[in-house]
Homo-oligomer: A and B are copies of this chain.
Amino acid sequence: MSLLVVGTVALDTVETPAAVRTEQLGGSAVYFSYAASYFTTVRMAGVVGEDWPAKYTELLRARRIDVSGLQIVPGAKTFRWHGRYAPNMIDRETIDVQLNVYGDRRPALSDQCRRSPLLFLATGSPHQQLEILDEMTGPQLVVADTTDLWIQDERDTLLKLLQRVSGLMLNDMEACLLTGCARVVQAGLRILELGPTFVVIKRGEHGAVFFSKHETYVLPAFPTPDVVDPTGAGDSFAGGMMGYLAEQRNFEPKTLKEAMAYGILVGSFAVEDYGPDRLGTIDRSAIELRMDRYRKMLSF
């Protein structure tokens, strides 16, 4: 079952206590696609500028990601993000954001993209997320991400979007901001009343919490000792989860839970090197090996 992601494709500059990496491959659609590529054919839609390095497109192709939806806009510059991590590798400061082409236009979707049964709307303006959704031809599962910016600036449009998606993914602070609830468990339950069938609250190094009408559960993060660059962990989580759902071709509660576990594990690999580098070096069997360890960790 093929899966479409629409999101940012970026050049990231990342500073950690150990090193600085300049203009590395990044963006929500990129991390998502790398993560989903272990499980399914993923179509990536996004816009970049003329300055986009061809070698990055080759890296994506090498992961068998369908990059036909990646549009290079003449005369434009690629979206850039520059962040700096604290020694705990959790807290981060955004040094600079240059929207560039991402601020000007959204990707045009091919007919093939529009027919994708699974759609992930990476964080972006809810207005644009709705436009993309309108272009789709009867998707079976739509999951959206959002961030504090959109919750604050486009709340009404976001609420409309929530009426039309199956799932929402966001982090704990965003969930509290959206609902006014101080506690995550209550925030998740409240979001269900806003429309989605399920909500996943991402908690970084603390794992993720799943909410549906019938169940609430927590799965912890896999405690990898090697955190090199946390950039893209949340998008990798989403890609792993959605990729597994696409592979399994069903969205039953049992499958959703397995999918969340796969998302957590792919996310745990993503942070082990700069950019999506680590995701470029592992294969499915490495994920399954870690899954065995993860299941054992949670058994007693």
Contacts and interface: CB of A to CB of B under 8 A. Distances in A.
Interface of A: 86-89, 176, 182-186, 189, 203, 205-207, 209, 216-221, 223-225, 227, 254, 257-258, 261, 295, 297-300
Contacts of A225: 185-186, 189, 216
Contact of A220 (B88, B176, B219, B261): B219
Given A297-B218, A300-B254, A300-B261, A182 B86 contact: yes
Given A217-B223, A223-B218, A182 B298 contact: no
A89 B184 CA distance: 11
Given A206-B203, A254-B300, A300-B257, A220 B223 contact: no
A299 B219 CA distance: 10
Given A206-B206, A297-B217, A300-B254, A88 B182 contact: yes
A185 B299 CA distance: 20
A268 to B, nearest CB: 11
A219 B86 contact: no
Residue from the set A87, A218, A224 with the largest chain B CB neighbour count within 10 Å: A218
Nearest to A218: B220
B216 A218 contact: no
Contacts of A219: 220, 298, 300
Contacts of A221: 218
B206 A88 contact: no
15 contacts: A88-B183, A89-B183, A185-B223, A185-B224, A185-B225, A189-B225, A207-B220, A209-B223, A217-B297, A218-B223, A219-B298, A219-B300, A261-B300, A295-B300, A299-B299
A117 to B, nearest CB: 23
Contacts of A86: 182
A182 B87 CA distance: 6
Contacts of A298: 219, 298-299
A189 B258 CA distance: 29
A298 B237 CA distance: 18
A216 B223 CA distance: 8
Given A218-B223, A223-B216, A300 B206 contact: no
Contacts of A176: 88
A95 to B, nearest CB: 20
Contacts of A223: 185, 209, 216-218
A295 B299 CA distance: 8
